[in-house]
A and B are shown apart, each in its own frame.
Chain A
Amino acid sequence: DAKTTQPPSMDCAEGRAANLPCNHSTISGNEYVYWYRQIHSQGPQYIIHGLKNNETNEMASLIITEDRKSSTLILPHATLRDTAVYYCIVRRYSGGGADGLTFGKGTHLIIQP
């Protein structure tokens, strides 16, 4: 799986959009971009994933650049409950492969009131 680079921490005001960047310049054509988050002391939670098209669900939007070397997770209206560590993970489509997720240190997003 390709390596990812994320800023260690970010601040965002409550009610504003939080934009979390991720660099994955060595991504290959069959690798997906996944985002998980971990709220303090809890287990990680799946947010969203994508291959090359932009994706949106009830939690967030994922914007992947055309060359797929970077992506941005967008939380449209951040709340205090969105304070967490956000992990960007590049994951090979392995047709059923079983290996676990590779977590880096992620970005600690702090939502300010």
Chain B
Amino acid sequence: NAGVTQTPKFRVLKTGQSMTLLCAQDMNHEYMYWYRQDPGMGLRLIHYSVGEGTTAKGEVPDGYNVSRLKKQNFLLGLESAAPSQTSVYFCASRKWTGGSETQYFGPGTRLLVL
């Protein structure tokens, strides 16, 4: 199992450019998440998905869109990048076992917006 993978690992954008971050998981998990982490801070939830075709907003959704067309993939889009979106982005999928959960995180995508 590859677990949770993220593409790309690093990207530099200019203000106003767009891009899509891809997250893939091979554990057949229903729930998937996108977080961002700014320097010295904990992770904050951007969007999440409870299954194929469904998405919902998290704590900091502005400026981002997501799609879950396939169960194994969760895409995060930036339509018009801003310097405030410079961050490290982590994707996660969740294993739920009768009352408790484990989230599995990807290695992260480092995004620099100039």
Contact = CB atoms under 8 A, between A and B. Distances in A.
Contacts of B108: 41-43
A105 interface: yes
**A interface secondary structure, majority:** loop
Given A41-B108, A100-B33, A46 B42 contact: no
B40 A100 contact: no
Given A41-B108, A42-B108, A96-B96, A101 B103 contact: yes
Interface residues of B, number: 28
Contact of B42 (A93, A98, A99, A105): A105
Interface in A63-113: 87, 91, 93, 95-96, 98-106
Interface residues of A, number: 23
Contact of A98 (B48, B59, B99, B105): B48
Interface of B: 4, 31, 33, 35, 40-45, 48, 50, 56, 58-59, 90, 92, 96, 99-108
